[in-house]
């Protein structure tokens, strides 16, 4: 219990630190939203008037205070540029990015873990080498290039087997689930293949390490074949490590998919961040970054808790102490 | 390499029948019996027999069985897997294909909905505060209307005012309005709304308010007549009123101007998804004769050029503007599409800081102009842009072909540089900063062209907002590039405070006279003289006049080709599906 409270306190402290860091870092950027709004035909007086109107003339401390106050009340503010509530905007964009990441991760796991196991279990030299080569090549495909190839293969109206939409997200969004999933398939594959290579590499090397351990010998002594022991005991043992890697990769993917979002003309969180930074809509950017860091920290929290669930040894240790 | 992609591409289909991958590996799962799993991964047999002969003694039988089955079992398993994947892929493909085609466009009919692909998305809809031509493009003439409007030849034509007259001294303009006008919310539109809108513009200093700085008063003499009086003649008044300054808003309506729009035009703005799309719906009760011919027009924005091209190819959009000349080639060779470049007022201005450390020397500026090979730049972009030798493009009053003032002549450039005191021993280094929206190619090309005459160009491609800070506000630059797309923007050269730092009293005087001219001929001739003076002083090189290329499917008609990045009336657009 104490550990959980400490973990949560740490979580809050980290969030507060993030808010300061994000706010300060964004003030270093040159230019401001008023001059972007006014454009290249505006008089300096007009830029000044806009600055006044948008509250950009207030002191830094005052701006930080009012923003943090809003965040504490759960109000992330209204974008200076779009005039919409920032949380609503993030909500809309999340409907693209999070399903994309989930689908990409699913594809990555379906390819990566089996391939990693196969790589670890392969005994002949050429087989091991080719698995290694596949993981290296897969991991080094640039997303842009992989995506273009997939479009050339499967893009509707463009590809050889033109069956999948290659750009855009349906106007109706998730009210039309079939089309929504269809529009995410190609981008998810693009992301998935790259992530799969990483997971494959990780699974293989972690399994290789475990295979030399006494757990496997024990399993085999109890009558399992080497492969059975590896898959049933080895995988179980590396599961916590795998979960950590998956958690980290998920966090990375949120901003990492921006190239893919652009290529497939999807309006996700990554492209939103980049547009807003470009427009110097700092209030929106800092709220976005704040929420994203909260998300990263939450993933860390979830991963920790999953470890407890997956790894009975951790529970056993704790139980021992309690007794 | 492509072989590497295939395992991935077949995966999603596996999602439905998840058993394929899951069973073959069974990670931590229920553990299939030895007999089931012995086939697929025969490699283990070698290892068990080599490394653990004694430990595996309990399962010797299975091992032996597996060994004997190995060759055949492996092949069968692989074949079965491949066959299954192919069957699933094909059936899933067929299913998807049929379900996506389930709403086929009936042939030979006029489409109810047309989708248009554009590039630059507006961040919000507040046309009175937010700058940028993306808003003019989609809103003016479609949702909002002005007192007067622009034609595709950039001439002033009637809109809310059906006619107007100008007094001989050029100080009084009388506008006669149409009758029976109303806004989309049903409110009546009359002279009072016009007067209120323009007074608001001036009082609140909205975008473009400065073009009305010479206005003395605006009054409604009756419901259908508006009179504008000026302090001094202003020849560009009508043209200015055809842009944002003349827009008429409903004084009684209250709405969030950033996310909604209530105007008097032929379309209603029914949805705005920022950065993604705008949906316009025909207003069935529109007052004018230019009623929308298509019920619904969806405007989609594509940041990525390839995605835009794919959208046109797959039929998700029916027209794309702009499309880069190089990408357009796939459509120009195809009979199903029409590709056309339109005239425009976009000027790619390579400005030389007239007060810069070395660019304040006129010889340096002239040398740069001689060193630039404009034809080569245009050819590299596909060849549809027009050469431009001065600040006024062909669609604006006062245009004159000035390209022969500074023809490409590297020898002359070198001698001018030598005169100015630069040599191979003491080369000229210049900083060139521009916004990343124009791509990196143009910077590379200019760098190599100027290198040929001994100028070392240090290219710095930055975000637009950083450019605004460094160049536009602080004027801290040697060379800068911007696509000045607005029409009638010669004032930039007559304003010594503008970021060009160009200050020539003669030009300012000519421009003031041109504005005060009471006849079009007089105005044009004065502007022509001023433009020539500017070009001779070489405060910039006008790299080219960008002409926007539009690609559309054959059945689409009525889509504007000229000026369509700032003026895009859509009422006439119709899409006839091929019979």
Contacts of B297 (CB under 8 A, 6+ apart): B113, B114, B115, B116, B267, B279, B280, B570, B573
For the ranges A208-217, B86-95, B484-493, the lowest mean pLDDT is seen at B86-95
Is any Cβ of chain B less than 8 angstroms from the Cβ of A148? yes
Question: At residue A294, does pLDDT exceed 70?
Answer: yes
Domain annotation covers residue A155: yes
pLDDT at res. B526: 96
Same domain, B168 and B279: yes
Same domain, B277 and B351: no
Same domain, B391 and B409: yes
Q: Distance, in angstroms, between B67 CA and closest chain A CA?
A: 13
- Pick from A39, A196, A231: CB nearest B8: A196
pLDDT at res. B74: 61
Domain with residue A169: its CATH number is 1.10.3720.10
Same domain, B151 and B173: yes
| Range of the structural domain that residue B393 is part of | 344-547
**What is the residue whose two structure tokens read 């040599």?**
B423
Hey, of B6, B9, B312, which one would you mutate to test binding to chain A, going by the most A CBs within 10 A of its CB? B9
pLDDT-derived band at B579 (thresholds 50, 70, 90) equals low
Q: Report the DSSP beta bridge partners of residue B576.
A: B110
No. of H helices and E strands in chain B? Answer: 19, 22
Hey, of A40, A175, A283, which one would you mutate to test binding to chain B, going by the most B CBs within 10 A of its CB? A40
Contact B308 A50 (CB under 8 A): no
Domain annotation covers residue B83: no
**Per-residue pLDDT averaged across B333-359, rounded?**
93
Domain annotation covers residue B90: no
**Per-residue pLDDT averaged across B130-136, rounded?**
89
pLDDT tens-digit readout, B231-240: 999 999 999 9
- Our CA angle for B517, B484, B297, nearest 5°, is 105
Question: At residue B467, does pLDDT exceed 50?
Answer: yes
Hey, of B274, B320, B462, B473, which one would you mutate to test binding to chain A, going by the most A CBs within 10 A of its CB? B274
Q: Distance, in angstroms, between B28 CA and closest chain A CA?
A: 5
Hey, of A156, A162, A206, A274, which one would you mutate to test binding to chain B, going by the most B CBs within 10 A of its CB? A156
Contact A117 B27 (CB under 8 A): yes
Strands B455-462 and B428-435: parallel
Same domain, B384 and B471: yes
Question: At residue B519, does pLDDT exceed 50?
Answer: yes
Distance (Å, rounded) from C-alpha A176 to C-alpha A250?
Answer: 26
Q: Distance, in angstroms, between A8 CA and closest chain B CA?
A: 32
DSSP-derived 3-state class of residue A158? coil
For the ranges B58-72, B181-195, B349-363, B468-482, the lowest mean pLDDT is seen at B58-72
Domain annotation covers residue B160: yes
Distance (Å, rounded) from C-alpha B173 to C-alpha B175?
Answer: 7
Mean pLDDT, all residues of chain A? 86
**Per-residue pLDDT averaged across B92-96, rounded?**
65
pLDDT at res. B75: 65
DSSP string, B391-412: SS-TTSTT----TTSS---HHH
pLDDT at res. B161: 96
What percentage of residues in chain B have a pLDDT greater than 90?
Answer: 66
| Range of the structural domain that residue A242 is part of | 95-270
Contact B27 A235 (CB under 8 A): yes
Please say whether the beta carbons of A204 and A116 come within 8 A.
yes
pLDDT tens-digit readout, A167-184: 888 877 888 888 889 889
Q: Distance, in angstroms, between A68 CA and closest chain B CA?
A: 25
- Nearest Cα residue in chain A from B202: A46
Strands B479-484 and B428-435: parallel
For the ranges A36-45, B244-253, B422-431, the lowest mean pLDDT is seen at A36-45
Domain annotation covers residue B322: no
Contact B12 A185 (CB under 8 A): yes
Distance (Å, rounded) from C-alpha B355 to C-alpha B73?
Answer: 82
Same domain, B525 and B559: no
Q: Distance, in angstroms, between B503 CA and closest chain A CA?
A: 17
Mean pLDDT, all residues of chain B? 85
Domain annotation covers residue B4: no
Contact B316 A150 (CB under 8 A): no
Is any Cβ of chain B less than 8 angstroms from the Cβ of A173? no
Distance (Å, rounded) from C-alpha A76 to C-alpha A294?
Answer: 13
Contacts of B427 (CB under 8 A, 6+ apart): B454, B455, B456
pLDDT tens-digit readout, B147-196: 999 999 999 999 999 999 999 999 999 999 999 999 999 999 999 999 99
Q: How many beta-carbon pairs under 8 angstroms link A with B?
A: 245
pLDDT tens-digit readout, B473-486: 899 999 999 999 88
pLDDT tens-digit readout, B154-164: 999 999 999 99
- Pick from B63, B313, B463: CB nearest A278: B463
Q: Which of B248, B65, B44, B257 is nearest to B159 (CA)?
A: B248
Domain with residue B307: its CATH number is 3.40.190.10
Domain annotation covers residue A15: no
**What is the residue whose two structure tokens read 């105005």?**
B523
Same domain, B392 and B246: no
Domain annotation covers residue A256: yes
H or E element in which residue B103 lies: none
Same domain, B308 and B393: no
What percentage of residues in chain B have a pLDDT greater than 70?
Answer: 84
Domain annotation covers residue B330: no
Contact B275 A178 (CB under 8 A): no
Same domain, B167 and B205: yes
Contact B465 A134 (CB under 8 A): no
Where is pLDDT greater, at B38 or A98?
A98
Contact B303 A117 (CB under 8 A): no
Domain annotation covers residue B51: no
Question: At residue B540, does pLDDT exceed 90?
Answer: yes
- Burial class from Cβ neighbours inside 10 Å (0-12, 13-18, 19+) for residue A287 reads buried
- Nearest Cα residue in chain B from A233: B28
Is any Cβ of chain B less than 8 angstroms from the Cβ of A35? yes
DSSP-derived 3-state class of residue B348? strand
Distances (CA, A) of B378 to B1, B373, B445, B545: 36, 9, 11, 9
DSSP string, B441-510: HHHHHHHHHHHTTTEEEEEEEE-HHHHIIIIIIT---SEEEEEE--SS-THHHH-TTSTT----HHHHHH
Query: Structural domain tally of chain A?
Result: 1
Question: At residue B132, does pLDDT exceed 80?
Answer: yes
Same domain, B183 and B259: yes
pLDDT-derived band at A231 (thresholds 50, 70, 90) equals confident
pLDDT tens-digit readout, B371-427: 999 999 999 988 899 999 999 999 999 999 999 999 999 999 999 999 999 988 888
The beta-carbon contacts of A130-137 under 8 Å, at least 24 apart in sequence, are A131/A200, A131/A204, A132/A204, A134/A197, A134/A200, A134/B4, A135/A197, A135/A198, A135/A200, A135/A201, A135/A204, A136/A197, A136/A201, A137/A197, A137/B1, A137/B4
CB contacts under 8 A, A 294-323 vs B, are none
**Per-residue pLDDT averaged across A147-154, rounded?**
88
Domain annotation covers residue A168: yes
Q: Which of A236, A188, A198 is nearest to A215 (CA)?
A: A236
**Per-residue pLDDT averaged across A217-227, rounded?**
87
Q: Report the DSSP beta bridge partners of residue A53.
A: none
Distance (Å, rounded) from C-alpha B474 to C-alpha B467?
Answer: 10
CB contacts under 8 A, A 65-104 vs B, are 81-84, 89, 92
Q: Report the DSSP beta bridge partners of residue B156.
A: B150
pLDDT at res. A166: 82
Domain annotation covers residue A6: no
Same domain, B534 and B565: no
pLDDT at res. A314: 75
**Per-residue pLDDT averaged across A66-70, rounded?**
89
Question: At residue A315, does pLDDT exceed 80?
Answer: no
Question: At residue A51, does pLDDT exceed 80?
Answer: yes
* Most confidently modeled range among A238-247, B32-41, B53-62: A238-247
Same domain, B562 and B444: no
Query: Structural domain tally of chain B?
Result: 2
Q: How many CB atoms lie within 10 A of CB B158?
A: 15
Question: At residue B42, does pLDDT exceed 50?
Answer: no
Domain annotation covers residue B97: no
Contact B131 A275 (CB under 8 A): no
């Amino acid at each position: 219990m104490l550990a959980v409270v400490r973990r949560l306190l740490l979580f809050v402290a980290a969030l507060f630190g993030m808010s300061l860091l994000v706010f300060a870092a964004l003030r270093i950027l040159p230019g401001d939203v008023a001059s972007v709004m006014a454009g290249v035909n505006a008089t300096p007086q007009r830029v000044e008037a806009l600055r006044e109107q948008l509250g950009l003339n207030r002191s830094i401390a005052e701006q930080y205070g009012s923003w943090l106050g809003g965040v504490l009340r759960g109000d992330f503010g209204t974008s200076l540029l779009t005039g919409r509530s920032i949380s609503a905007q993030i909500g809309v964009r999340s409907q693209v990015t999070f399903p994309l990441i989930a689908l990409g991760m699913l594809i990555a796991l379906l390819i990566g873990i089996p391939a990693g196991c196969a790589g670890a279990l392969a005994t002949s030299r050429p087989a091991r080498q080719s698995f290694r080569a596949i993981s290296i090549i897969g991991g080094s495909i640039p997303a842009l290039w992989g995506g273009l190839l997939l479009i050339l293969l499967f893009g509707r109206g463009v590809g050889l087997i033109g069956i999948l939409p290659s750009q855009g997200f349906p106007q109706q969004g998730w009210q039309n689930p079939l089309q929504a999933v269809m529009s995410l398939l190609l981008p998810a594959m693009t992301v998935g293949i790259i992530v799969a290579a990483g997971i494959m590499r990780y699974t293989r090397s972690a399994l290789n390490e475990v295979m030399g351990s006494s757990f496997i010998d024990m399993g085999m002594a109890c009558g399992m074949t080497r492969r059975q022991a590896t898959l049933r005991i080895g995988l179980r043992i590396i599961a916590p490590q795998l979960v950590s890697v998956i958690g980290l990769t998920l966090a990375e993917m949120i901003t990492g998919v921006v190239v893919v979002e652009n290529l497939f003309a999807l309006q996700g969180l990554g492209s939103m961040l980049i547009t807003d930074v470009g427009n110097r809509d700092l209030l929106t950017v800092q709220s976005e970054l704040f929420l994203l860091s909260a998300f990263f920290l939450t993933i860390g929290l979830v991963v920790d808790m999953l470890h407890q669930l997956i790894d009975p040894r951790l529970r056993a240790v704790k139980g021992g102490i309690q007794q | 390499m492509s072989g590497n992609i295939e395992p991935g591409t077949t995966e999603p289909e596996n999602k439905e029948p998840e058993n394929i991958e899951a069973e073959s590996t069974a990670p931590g799962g229920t553990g299939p019996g030895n007999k089931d799993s012995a086939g697929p991964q025969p490699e283990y047999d070698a290892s068990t027999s080599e490394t653990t002969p004694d430990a595996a003694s309990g399962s010797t039988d299975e091992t032996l069985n597996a060994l004997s089955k190995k060759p055949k079992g492996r092949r069968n398993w692989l074949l079965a897997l491949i066959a299954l994947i192919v069957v699933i892929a094909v059936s899933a493909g067929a299913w998807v294909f049929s379900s996506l085609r389930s709403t086929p466009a009936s042939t030979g009919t006029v489409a109810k909905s047309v989708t248009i692909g554009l590039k630059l998305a507006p961040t919000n809809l507040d046309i009175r505060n937010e700058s940028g031509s993306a808003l003019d493009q989609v809103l003016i003439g479609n949702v909002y209307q002005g007192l007067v409007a622009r034609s595709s030849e950039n001439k002033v034509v009637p809109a809310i005012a059906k006619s107007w007259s100008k007094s001989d001294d050029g100080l009084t303009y009388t506008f006669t309005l149409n009758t029976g006008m109303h806004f989309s919310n049903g409110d009546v539109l009359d002279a009072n709304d016009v007067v209120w809108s323009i007074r608001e513009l001036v009082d609140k200093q909205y975008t473009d308010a400065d073009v009305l700085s010479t206005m003395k008063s605006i009054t409604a003499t009756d419901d259908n007549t508006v009179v504008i009086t000026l302090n001094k003649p202003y020849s560009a008044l009508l043209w200015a009123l055809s842009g944002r300054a003349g827009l008429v808003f409903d004084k009684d309506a209250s709405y969030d101007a950033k996310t909604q729009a209530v105007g008097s035009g032929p379309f209603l703005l029914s949805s705005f998804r920022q950065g993604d799309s705008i949906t316009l719906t025909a207003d069935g009760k529109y007052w004018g004769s230019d009623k929308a011919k298509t019920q619904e027009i969806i405007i989609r924005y594509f940041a990525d050029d390839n995605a835009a091209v794919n959208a046109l190819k797959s039929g998700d959009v029916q027209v794309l503007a702009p499309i880069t000349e190089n990408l357009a080639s796939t459509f120009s060779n195809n009979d199903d599409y029409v590709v056309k470049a339109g005239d425009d007022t976009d000027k790619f201005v390579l400005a030389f800081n007239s007060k810069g450390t070395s660019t304040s020397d006129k010889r340096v500026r002239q040398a740069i102009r001689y060193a630039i090979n404009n034809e080569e730049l245009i050819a590299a972009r596909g060849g549809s842009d027009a050469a431009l030798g001065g600040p006024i493009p062909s669609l604006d009053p006062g245009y004159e072909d000035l390209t022969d003032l500074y023809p490409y002549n590297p020898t002359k450039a070198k001698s001018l540089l030598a005169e100015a005191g630069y040599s191979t021993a003491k080369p000229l280094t210049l900083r060139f900063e521009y916004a990343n929206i124009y791509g990196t190619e143009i910077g590379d090309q200019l760098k190599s062209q100027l290198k040929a005459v001994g100028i070392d160009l240090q290219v710095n491609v930055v975000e637009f907002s950083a450019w605004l800070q460094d160049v536009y506000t602080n004027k801290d630059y040697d060379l800068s590039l911007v696509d000045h797309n607005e029409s009638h923007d010669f004032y930039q050269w007559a304003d010594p405070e503008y970021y060009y730092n160009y200050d020539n009293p003669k030009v300012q005087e000519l421009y003031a006279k041109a504005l005060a001219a009471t006849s079009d001929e007089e105005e044009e001739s004065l502007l022509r003289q001023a433009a020539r003076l500017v070009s001779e002083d070489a405060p910039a090189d006008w790299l080219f006049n960008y002409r926007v290329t539009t690609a559309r499917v054959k059945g689409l008609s009525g889509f504007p080709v000229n000026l369509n990045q700032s003026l895009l009336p859509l009422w006439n657009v119709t899409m006839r599906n091929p019979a």
